[in-house]
Amino acid sequence: MTGTQVDRSLPKTGFLFPWPFPNGAPSFIYRMKNYAALLMVRCASRLLFFGGVNQLNVKGRERFVTALQNRSRPLITITNHRSNLDDPLMWTILTWKEFFQTIDRQRYTLTAHNICFSKQWHTTIFSLGNCVPCVRGEGVFQKGMDFSLEKLNKNGWVHIFPEGRVTETPLRFKWGVGRLIMEPDVAPIVLPIWMRGMETVWPNHPPYYPKFGKKISLTVGEPLDTQELRAEISKDPNMSERQRRKLMTDRVQELLFSLGEECGDLEKGLTERLRKEHERHIDEFR
């Protein structure tokens, strides 16, 4: 769920083009085009760090690599959203060997349809790069969400910007996050990642061009095995599905914002205040 700070009107008809992903197993030709697109995006992204023109410091990288290489469980990564190029720049933390070893398990990411899918050729390019159209206002049961669930049910990797747009201040997470965690056949691993400084490399306001001599940091938090949490949330027979999705979303929001507090980007005590607020309002979502 990624977006921009620029306000753009939404097409009244929502997603305007034929669904860009193949039905069923992709053909060999489609897979080759898909891999080529991923490779080109990676090469372009690495240019912004080539020769030390910008520095990317990562803490906890081994947690991410371990989770990605574990194909026995679906993987959901969640991050704060600081720049329109957070994804794909952040995934340059993979070595070339790790990238090629997992090229068939690279992330699918929900992407604002009115920004990245506004033309047919945009749709073709972004979908080949594993971007999934997400139509704002169509709720948690839209086609992009269903497609992401299909990928998770195949033990794939889905990346989410749960705040839904680029923001410098914390926002409430979108409830679709809860659906993507509660509904897969196998409980996913959720991996929080906190980013600092990406907006200094690619600014959020004109003029839009890359900057150099900047330092970016990524902190990978502890992975959350959602199996027990799903069971805990599901055991109350009086709780509606909507409440369960909201409660799961709230728990994951606390997970990421706690990491933001540890990194010094969010004020201490924010997560605890949000937890108390969530507990007060849960009955409103039956």
What pLDDT score does 278 carry? 65
Q: What is the pLDDT of residues 210-245, one digit of tens each?
A: 999 999 999 999 999 999 999 999 999 999 999 999
Would residue 47 count as lying in a domain? Answer: yes
Residue stretches of the chain with pLDDT short of 50: 3-12
Query: Which domain CATH number covers 51?
Result: 3.40.1130.10
Q: Which residues neighbour 82 within 8 Å (Cβ) at sequence distance 6 or greater?
A: 166, 168, 195, 196, 197, 198, 199, 204
Strand partners, 159: 77, 109
Domain tally for the chain? 1
pTM for this prediction: 0.91
Rounded to whole angstroms, how far apart are CA atoms 102 and 93?
13
Would residue 244 count as lying in a domain? Answer: no
Positive/negative CA dihedral, 197, 198, 200, 206: negative
CA 264 and chain centroid, separation: 22
| 64, 69, 71, 75 alpha-carbon torsion, rounded to 10° | 20
Full domain range(s) for residue 145:
28-226
Q: What is the pLDDT of residues 173-219, one digit of tens each?
A: 999 999 999 999 999 999 999 999 999 999 998 888 999 999 999 99
Would residue 150 count as lying in a domain? Answer: yes
Would residue 3 count as lying in a domain? Answer: no
Label residues 92-130 b or e (16+ Cβ within 10 Å = b).
bbbeeeebeebeebbbbbbbbbbbbbeeeeebebbbbbb
